[in-house]
Amino acid sequence: MKPHLIVLDLDGTLLTDEKVISEKTAHTLEQAREQGHQVMIATGRPYRASEVYYNQLDLTTPIVNFNGAFVHHPRDKKWKTIHETISLPVVRDVVDAMQGFDIHNIIAEVMDDVYLEKHDAKLLDILSFGAPVIKEGDIRKTLQDDPTSLLIQADSKKVEPIRQHLAEVHAEVIDHRRWGAPWDVIEIVRHGLNKAVGISYVSKWLDIPRERIIAFGDEDNDLEMIDYAGVGVAMGNGIDRLKSIANEVTLTNNEDGIAEFLKERLHLT
């Protein structure tokens, strides 16, 4: 069998609800690699919050972080890194516009530096993974570099009106996604970026065509990736919109959905 590129989202896909990779799934992915297939991660997380899983699987491929805004090869410093940012004027326009909405917080990430508008212990528990440098205060004043991503936290009922505003006013310069439950967070990246863009770059480097890409996901930030892959697979716990465009639907992230699908598709024992 010709080599395939297996692309894995993390939260709700590769990881169980306990945020671990099951032994069965890890073993199946190792089997796939032994048969010549390539395995990579594509996630909305920054690299600092995905490195532990990259190392656990002992991967040797590039990784897509920040939903395509950052693509690099952790084991090959000569590999051409992609880092697409949001310009500071755009960030300030968005932050200014958010003053008219009932929001909880705004967070900017510049690679491993985190900027919080307001102190929030609960959010810090997530954002502190990987020990980033954290600064608090008015982002329009503290942020001096173009950020990799921008996060807006609001009540669930406020999320769609905010996204509608972003689509109407800033559609030409930014793209946005909604985090999965329980977080009512809108993540913003530079326009034209998504996981599929990063994956296409990696697949060309690996010389694996689109039709031999198998991608797994569960949320709306996986839509382009699932649509792009030759075989787009939605997890059983995935959102309905993703399942509707996927080629296949497998078991949930807590039921080794990735392992079960790959065993059958790639004839793994």
Tell me: the pLDDT tens digits for 160-183? Answer: 889 899 888 888 899 888 776 666
Tell me if 166 sits within 8 A of 176, measured CB to CB. Answer: yes
pLDDT at 18 over 90: yes
Q: How many CB atoms lie within 10 A of CB 76?
A: 12
Specify the pLDDT at position 182: 62
User: Between 3.20.20.210, 3.30.1240.10, 3.40.50.300, 3.40.47.10, what CATH number should domain 88-190 receive?
Assistant: 3.30.1240.10
Q: Which of 9, 11, 175, 222 is catalytic?
A: 9
The residues spanned by each domain of the chain are 5-82+193-265, 88-190
Percentage of residues of the chain with pLDDT beyond 90: 78
The closest of 202, 191, 221 to 43, measured between CA atoms, is: 221
Total-model pTM: 0.92
Tell me: the pLDDT tens digits for 209-228? Answer: 999 999 999 998 999 999 99
Tell me: the pLDDT tens digits for 38-58? Answer: 999 999 999 999 999 999 999
Integer CA distances (angstroms), 4 to 10, 21, 98, 187, 241, in order:
19, 21, 43, 30, 25
Amino acid present at 54: Y
For 5-82+193-265, CATH number? 3.40.50.1000
The answer to whether 112 is a known catalytic residue is no
Task: Quickly tell me which residue has 């990430």 as its tokens.
Answer: 109
